[in-house]
Every structure is written in C-alpha cells, then in structure tokens.
C-alpha cells in the first residue's frame, strides 16, 4: 500500500491488493474537534474486496462491477474501455462535449490551482489520489499511449507510461466516482479547464460501452424512471393519491383549502419537483402550492410521471439515458401546452433541463426552462405575500447548490428571498459561485451500497459540515437555540440530512435542515401556527 502523499499517476497499474488508504482527515471545528465526537474510518469487509474492486482506496462505488474471473473477461474489459476511449475522442460520436474535453486533455499546466479548490482533496489532508488532476493525468497518459503517434513511438519519454490492465481500468472507474462533478475546479482554473468533464467521460465510457454504472443511479434511477415514469417507481394513481394527501395536509397545517392543479391545459407554467420531495419531504411541494396560490400563479403539475418528476440521473453518467429522460419531460410539457417549465428545488434538474438539454435537442423540440428562484424573488418584491420575518427569528445559513450557482449563475435571488424572511441570516464562507459542494453531488447522496456511505459522510461532505459548524459557531453548543441549514435542492438536502444524522447534530445541538420555500411559508403573516415542525417542538 502506498502512502497517499507519495502516490503517482503511474501507480494506478501497480499489482497491489489496495493502492492506498485515507490516513488523515481535515480537522473539524468545535465541538467536533474533541476526541470521540465522530466515528472512526473502517476497513472494507473481506467479502466485498474479493467480489468488487476495492483495490483503489478500499471504498466501492461501482456496485455492479464484479471482479472478472477469467483471462478472457479481463481482456474483454480492456477492449471495451479502449473502444469507449476511441468514441470519446471522436467528433462524430462525442460532438456535444468534444471541445471542452479536448481542451482539458491537452492544455493542463499542472499549476494545481484546482487542487486547492477541491473539497475532497482538502478533506483528505492532501491525499494525491483525490487531487483533481490525478485522475485526469491518468486518462491523459492512457490516451497518449494508445491514441497518439508520439505515445506509440516514444512511450514513457512523452508521458505515455500507463499500462492498461484490467485493474487499471477498474481503479480508474472507481476513481471517477471520487469526484462530485461540482466544477469548482473548473471555475478556479486559470485556463478554464474542467477536470469534472474528464471524470464524467470515464463514467460515461463505463456505462455506455461497458454496461457498468452504480445501481442507485442506473437501475433504481434512470431505468426505473423510463419504465414506470418516475425514479420513485410510484404509479400514476399513487401520485394522484399523494396530491390528495398533500391538499389534506395543507388544510390540516394551515386551515386553508388549497387545490393543487393537475394537468391544467394552457397553464403558463409546468412546475416540476424532484420526485423524492413527495416521498421524503412533502412539506416542500406543499409550500410551493401555498405560495403559488397566494401569489395567483397560473401553473400546473403533470400527472404524466415523466412530467412530474424532474429527476434526470443520466447527466451524472450516461448521455444516452440523460437525453431519453429530457426529451420525455419536454414532451409532457408540450402536451399540456404550457409556456415554460419551472424547476423547483432540485439542483441537478436545473442543470439537466436548463443547461445540458441544450446540447441534446434542437430549439423546435425544447420548452423554455427557468429556475423558481428569480420568480419567487419577484413575487416577494411585488408585495403579493404578506410576510412577518420575526417568525423565523433563529440562526439560518444558506447552502448554494452547485448546479444552481455555478452552472446557471443564479446567486442573488435566493439571498433576496432569505433576507426578506430571516432576520438572523448568516452566510457560509465561501458562498455563492465559490461555494463548496454538499458532498452528495453527482449521485453520491443516493449511493449507499456497501461502504460508500462512509466515504460520503466522512470525506465528500466533510467540507460542507465544516462550513455548517463555522456558520453557527456562536450558537452551535447552545441546544436551546434552533438553527436551520437552508438547502434549496433535494439532492443537497439528502446529503445534509445524512451529515446531521451521522454526527448526531440535530439531537445534540438543535440543528435542522430544509428547503427555502418552507421558510417563506413559515413567515406568512396570516399563518396561525408554525409551518416548520421543529418550531412545534419548541412550543411544546
């Protein structure tokens, strides 16, 4: 096993049981700077290591990739990977991403600016394996060796020095799932190069060419969505029952009789939610229904499940799957004759429908897509909602979803909203386009197979946990004061929920989490009882 500080890209092919391990993690602020405040790192179970590829760092993200048993299987694995690389480098087969891909492959100056920007590299105390350019350089060296004349002729003299064994391929596939694809590295790169693009291209080769992708993303995500219409797997009758339940819940919570419009032809807006909200956080779609009703918004939901579920997991690992979902979502909007789609609190749906879809379709097939954030900010500015900010008189901090701020440049609307309803708002440091990922990005939030949940909770979310603790340092150890982490993204909420549970922060220090619209509803002047559940506990 090689010390993480001494690891080199060429070591990816070394025939060792496990290439390296995480020896040290970044220190956390008080009160988690004390011994015994967090669980120790664990070793992978022996049966996992025998069946799957745990030979990178001991963690297993690719839960569908089993160790090949025969020489022929190993050779076939390498052959398929090389075939995928060839397609990756072709303008004909990879036209939508070829320009930024080739720039990122060809022009890295090795200045390591991206390393200082990476939350995973920082969380592991500078372990070389997690340096953004580490995986990029491995890919770069493989491409040079197998697809350039200089590499074939001069080999290691020109940096073409990585042998493509089956284990090299397997480790590189795992390494592509040690990146949240948050693109903070791309933002800080002085040349504008994108290591996240290279990580995703590796994932894409594994999925599209080799049929290997994490089960929560592909089988339980995309394929379930395409088969049943929703990543939750619920049926249309079940969805309609959920809507009835939400309407009953609104009346029970508020006393207001509000009907949620379904399949309203010719509405101005099709509002789409992450399907997980209906199952895990129904208070979020309830809050949207209340605010849109009070603001007089002409909107509808769709009972076409592809239309109601704005999830599109394909953007994390597979272009073909992403396009299938995006096209069906646009078709659902067209059938209703709406003027535009508005994306609710889901970061990756913002990216999928409003950014990535532009590379997947023509203008004739696309419906205009907007974020709910500028719209809600305008509603609040208009005075249509009568607000009493004193109802949210507790410390609140804001997590910026990467795909909202960095992919779409939406930074100020959410701040205008939160400042209008939260008198004790405090920013995380850094924030806005410089924010750190929640650690659940690119699928990590739903990847819990074997020991991958530990990697997320201990490593990829570590910087976000530090930011949360830093934001509440003045009150963190006073459990009598409720504190709220606002995360306007379903995926981010899932990751933050897991952090708070893993470190027992809610129970010990009264720290809660939720979306943005819930805070707005809680501040409505004519709301008799608190909308936020933890405030009910305080009243009791």
Q: For Cα atoms 481, 284, 305, give the angle at the middle one, nearest 5 degrees.
A: 155
Whether the predicted model's global pTM rises above the 0.75 cut: yes
Confidence of residue 540 (pLDDT cuts 50, 70, 90): very low
Interatomic CA distance for residues 420 and 284, integer angstroms: 19
Q: What is the pLDDT of residues 100-128, one digit of tens each?
A: 999 999 999 999 999 999 999 999 999 99
Q: What does the domain layout of the chain look like in residue ranges? A: 9-209, 218-376, 384-539
Which long-range contacts (C-beta less than 8 Å, at least 24 apart) are formed by 407-414? Answer: 407/183, 407/350, 407/351, 407/355, 408/350, 408/351, 408/354, 408/355, 408/371, 409/433, 410/371, 410/373, 410/374, 412/377, 413/371, 413/373, 413/374, 413/376, 413/377, 414/373, 414/377, 414/488, 414/516
Mean pLDDT of 48-75: 94
* 186/362: higher pLDDT: 186
Phi, psi values for residue 340, rounded to 5°: -160, 160
Mean pLDDT of 182-188: 95
Q: Tell me what percent of the residues of the chain surpass a pLDDT of 90.
A: 89
Least confident stretch, 22-36, 359-373, 421-435: 359-373
**What does pLDDT average to over the chain?**
94
Q: What is the structure's pLDDT at 539?
A: 52
Q: Do the Cβ atoms of 326 and 360 come closer than 8 Å?
A: yes
Identify the CATH number of the domain defined by range 218-376.
3.40.50.1860
């Amino acid at each position: 096993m090689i010390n993480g500080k001494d690891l080199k890209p060429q070591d990816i092919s070394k025939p060792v049981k496990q290439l390296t391990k995480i020896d040290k993690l970044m220190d956390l602020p008080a009160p988690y700077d004390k011994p015994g405040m967090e669980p120790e790192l664990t070793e992978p179970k022996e049966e996992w290591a025998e069946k799957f590829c745990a030979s990178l760092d001991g963690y297993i993200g690719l839960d569908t990739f089993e160790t090949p048993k025969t020489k022929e299987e190993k050779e076939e694995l390498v052959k398929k990977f090389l075939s995928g690389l060839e397609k990756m480098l072709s303008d004909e087969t990879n036209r939508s991403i070829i320009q930024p891909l080739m720039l990122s492959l060809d022009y890295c100056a090795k200045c390591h600016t991206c390393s200082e920007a990476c939350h995973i590299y920082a969380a592991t105390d500078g372990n070389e394996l997690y340096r953004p350019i580490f995986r990029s350089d491995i890919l770069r060296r493989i491409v040079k060796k197998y697809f350039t004349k200089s590499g074939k002729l001069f080999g290691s003299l020109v940096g073409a020095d990585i042998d493509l064994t089956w284990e090299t391929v397997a480790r590189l596939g795992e390494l592509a799932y040690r990146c949240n694809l948050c693109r903070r590295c791309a933002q800080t790169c002085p040349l504008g190069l994108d290591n996240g693009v290279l990580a995703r291209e590796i994932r894409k080769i594994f999925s599209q060419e080799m049929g290997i992708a994490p089960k929560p993303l592909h089988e339980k995500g995309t394929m379930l969505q395409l088969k049943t219409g929703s990543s939750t797997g619920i049926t249309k009758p079940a969805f309609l029952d959920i809507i009835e339940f939400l309407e009953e819940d609104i009346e029970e919570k508020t006393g207001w009789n509000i009907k949620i419009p379904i399949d309203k032809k010719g509405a101005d807006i099709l509002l789409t939610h992450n399907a997980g909200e209906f199952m895990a956080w129904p208070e979020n779609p309830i809050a949207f229904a209340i605010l849109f009703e009070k603001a007089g918004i002409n909107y509808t939901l769709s009972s076409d499940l592809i239309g109601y579920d704005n999830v599109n997991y394909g953007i994390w690992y597979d272009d073909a799957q992403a396009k299938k979902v995006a096209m069906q979502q646009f078709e659902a909007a067209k059938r209703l004759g709406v003027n535009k789609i508005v994306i609710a609190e889901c970061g990756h749906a913002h990216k999928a429908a409003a950014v990535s879809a532009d590379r997947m379709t023509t203008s004739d097939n696309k419906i205009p897509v907007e974020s709910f954030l500028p719209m809600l900010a305008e509603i609040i500015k208009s005075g249509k909602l009568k607000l009493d900010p004193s109802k949210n008189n507790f410390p609140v901090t804001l997590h910026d979803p990467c795909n909202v701020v960095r992919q779409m440049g939406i930074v100020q609307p959410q701040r205008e909203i939160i400042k209008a309803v939260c008198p004790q708002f405090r920013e995380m440091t850094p924030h806005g386009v410089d924010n750190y990922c929640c650690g659940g990005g690119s699928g990590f939030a739903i990847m819990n197979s074997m020991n991958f949940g530990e990697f997320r909770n201990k490593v990829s979310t570590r910087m976000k946990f530090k930011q949360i603790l830093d934001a509440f340092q003045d009150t963190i150890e006073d459990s009598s004061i409720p504190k709220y982490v606002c995360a306007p993204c379903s995926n981010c909420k899932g990751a933050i929920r897991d952090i708070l549970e893993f470190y027992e922060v809610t129970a010990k220090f009264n720290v809660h989490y939720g979306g943005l619209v819930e805070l707005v509803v809680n501040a409505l002047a004519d709301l008799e009882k608190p909308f936020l559940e933890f405030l009910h506990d305080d009243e009791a």
